[in-house]
Amino acid sequence: MRSATAHRLYEADERFAVKSAGTDKNAAVVLDNDLLQWADAIVVMEKDHRNFIRKNYPEIYNTKKIVCLYIPDLYDYMQPELIAMLKDKFEDVYRRGLV
């Protein structure tokens, strides 16, 4: 629900073009090479997600910016605490020029 919430928060933001995917094979949209190629920068929620990309898509891992927000999978979709955390962490990453 973290990525889906982030997608919803930023889909109308003129600064970004956003897509959301999961690393689990049961995700509504499963992360694949086409999505990773599309992205200029990749934002993940956990270190395990970054490691998944490193293992399964090493060429992407070595050529794209990948930023981890370190947000645990504890929240429901659009939960106020998740929204606040996403905005705080993502805007910090953006201000620092990491995405």
Domain span including residue 75: 2-90
Does residue 98 belong to any structural domain of this protein? Answer: no
Does residue 85 belong to any structural domain of this protein? Answer: yes
Does residue 41 belong to any structural domain of this protein? Answer: yes
| Mean pLDDT, range 94-99, rounded to an integer | 92
Does residue 26 belong to any structural domain of this protein? Answer: yes
Please give the pLDDT value at position 43. 96
Please give the pLDDT value at position 17. 94
* Rounded distance between C-alpha atoms, residue 95 and residue 99, angstroms: 9
List pLDDT tens digits, range 12-63.
999 999 999 999 899 889 999 999 999 999 999 999 999 999 999 999 999 9
Does residue 95 belong to any structural domain of this protein? Answer: no
Q: Is the pLDDT of residue 99 over 90?
A: no
Cβ atoms within 10 Å of 5's Cβ, excluding its own = 20
pTM of the model: 0.90
Number of structural domains in the chain = 1
Answer positive or negative: Cα dihedral of 51, 69, 45, 41. negative
Does residue 99 belong to any structural domain of this protein? Answer: no
Short-list 33, 88, 83, CA closest to 56 = 33
* Rounded distance between C-alpha atoms, residue 26 and residue 88, angstroms: 29
